[in-house]
Structure 1
Amino acid sequence: MVKILLIVLIVILAIAASVGGTLGVTEYLHHASPTVASGQAPKPPPPKPVFFATLADVTVSIPPQAGTAATSYVDFSVQFSTLDQAALVTFEELQPIIKAAVITLLMNETSQSLQDPQTRVDLTKSCLHIANEVLDRNASYTPANPFASAYITNLVVQD
């Protein structure tokens, strides 16, 4: 009789332990993440707005080929993208310095070199570097390099 009582007691303890474990795990998972309980994926944060600063209508005389007189001209515009709206105000204040550096950059080109796609890629990277460097150096802009990308919006070469 003692054996039967001992077996019944062990079976009751095993059932109680399994029910308690199931309830404990269910309670833990329920409080772990509301999205897991509801079956919905977490929502991504809303995208930050992108702002653009424009350097428009830069016109420079350039030579058609290296070693010749400057008989051609280039009309050039570029836009810089940023997530920081305050960078637009600083850009506008320092635009004459940025424009002067871009003019100097364009004066080193020829109408023939501007036909090369790699030259345009290099020109875009150089303009981005100029804009960020001018803001960093003259306005001690924090964080450094407020502009993430540059986009040529106008490039017309007239011979």
Structure 2
Amino acid sequence: MNKLVTAGIIVVALAAGAGAMFGVMHFMQMNSAAHAHDVAMKPKDGAHPKPILFADLSDIVVSIPAQAGAPATSYVQIGLQFSTHDEQAVTNFTTLQPIIKAQVINLLMSETSASLQNPVTRTALIQNCLIVANSVLAQNGGNSGAKPFDAAYITNLVVQD
């Protein structure tokens, strides 16, 4: 019986040792993977990633026709935001906002309330508004980059017949 108890204690000790070794290896492997992920996500030059900044163009209301060739009896209200990592682009946008707003109004006046129901038309409108904002800033703002804004987003779109 004494030999049986001793053998049992040895088996339990070996199992506990193996479990502890497995736990330490698992912890070290996770720590190593987390470290590799942290290293991969850090910028190479040591700088912090730049935050995303937004320039807001809101409260644009335009009268538009319900269908092509009809009189303007509908209204569209739109709000847009443009994203960038460049603080100067946001500053220049604020200064040049009347020009950008006027060109976006021109874009909207070529639409109808029926066409704005089409997702393809809205996608094209977003891209055209982004082109407008970038070209106005490039022509007037003195931005060093050719593309001050990376994306445009419709934040409000109301069409009323």
Q: Is TM > 0.5 for Structure 1 vs Structure 2?
A: yes
Count of residues in Structure 1 that have an aligned counterpart in Structure 2? 122
1:129 pairs with 2:128: no
The structure with the largest alpha-carbon Rg is 1
Residue 51 of structure 2 corresponds to which residue in structure 1? 49
- Aligned-partner residue type, residue 104 of structure 1: N
- Aligned-partner residue type, residue 124 of structure 2: D
**Distance in 2, Cα, partners of 1:83 & 1:53:** 11
Residue 148 of structure 2 corresponds to which residue in structure 1? 146
**Distance in 1, Cα, partners of 2:98 & 2:57:** 10
Residue 116 of structure 1 and its aligned partner are, at CA, apart by 0.2
Q: Which runs of 5+ in 1 are unaligned?
A: 1-37
**Distance in 1, Cα, partners of 2:85 & 2:110:** 31
Equivalent of residue 61 in structure 1, options 41, 60, 63: 63
| 1:53 partner SS | strand
Q: Is the 8 A contact 2:138 2:146 kept in 1?
A: yes
Q: Give the % identical residues.
A: 57
CA RMSD of aligned residues (A): 1.4
Q: Which runs of 5+ in 2 are unaligned?
A: 1-30, 43-47
Residue 119 of structure 2 corresponds to which residue in structure 1? 117
Q: Is the 8 A contact 2:88 2:143 kept in 1?
A: no
Residue 43 of structure 1 and its aligned partner are, at CA, apart by 4.7
Residue 97 of structure 1 and its aligned partner are, at CA, apart by 0.2
The residue correspondences of 1:92-107 to structure 2 (distance < 5 A) are 92-107=94-109
Give TM-score scaled by structure 2 length: 0.73
Q: Is the 8 A contact 2:83 2:150 kept in 1?
A: yes
- Cα-to-partner distance string for 1:97-137 (whole Å, 9 max, x where unaligned): 00000000000000000000000000000000000000000
- Cα-to-partner distance string for 1:39-59 (whole Å, 9 max, x where unaligned): 542252243210000000100
**Distance in 2, Cα, partners of 1:124 & 1:67:** 24
**Distance in 1, Cα, partners of 2:85 & 2:106:** 28
